[in-house]
Amino acid sequence: MARVPYVDASDVPEEYEELLESSLQGKPLHVYRSLGNNPEVLAGLRSFLGSLWTDSGLSDRDRELVILAAASETRNRYEWHQHVNIARGVGIGDDVIAGIGTDDLTALDADETTLVEYAVAVVRREVDAIAHGEVAAAYDDETVVGIAALAQGYAGLGGMIEAFDLELEPGDEFHGWDPR
């Protein structure tokens, strides 16, 4: 059971009600319902995460590769599960998803491997000159900042998910680290 309650729309001021719902799934998610215990923080995090999605400089595919890398590195089942669904929706195949989940990146092309390895290094706080040079050869400085912010932003969100001990939504069954 989650360590903080899942709030309902009736529990938050009206201007925050829509923030409890996933814009992709059109339903309330446990992650947002738990954060709804502090509506202002929920609003700030939704704004921050929204910026990471839209302003990172990455394609939808590359964005999801970074988020999956962060979720896999932190072994956050909730975040992984949510983003396996999103990754599939943007055309990422289960072989690539499984590769990230099992640390076998052979299904990724060279640029995707560089991106995922950099995201993992960011989460581990192990970016060195070599890792930076490799990602900087493929992306401009603005996008490199977006990649690092995206990786750490989702690692941070994963930390809150773990602290609150969130369960998957009712009816969902964990895809596993290899969803094939």
**Mean predicted confidence (pLDDT) in 87-92:** 97
pTM here is: 0.95
Among positive and negative, which fits the CA dihedral 76, 82, 86, 92?
positive
Confidence of residue 13 (pLDDT cuts 50, 70, 90): very high
Residue 117 pLDDT class (50, 70, 90 cuts) = very high
User: Would the pLDDT of 24 be above 90?
Assistant: no
pLDDT at 97 over 90: yes
Q: Which two tokens stand for residue 105?
A: 């990146």
**Closest CA relative to residue 62, chosen from 112, 23, 105:** 112
Q: Which residues contact 170 (CB under 8 A, 6 or more apart)?
A: none
pLDDT in tens, 134-157: 999 999 999 999 999 999 999 999
> What CATH number was assigned to the domain covering residues 58-164?
1.20.1290.10
Task: Write the burial class of residue 40 (CB in 10 Å: 0-12 exposed, 13-18 middle, 19+ buried).
Answer: exposed
* Alpha-carbon distances, residue 8 vs 40, 41, 45, 178 (angstroms): 15, 16, 18, 33
Residue matched to tokens 């923080």:
41
Res 25: pLDDT: 80
Alpha helices by DSSP H, listed for the chain, are: 30-35, 39-55, 60-74, 77-89, 94-102, 110-124, 129-138, 141-164
Q: Domain coordinates of the chain in residue numbers?
A: 9-53, 58-164
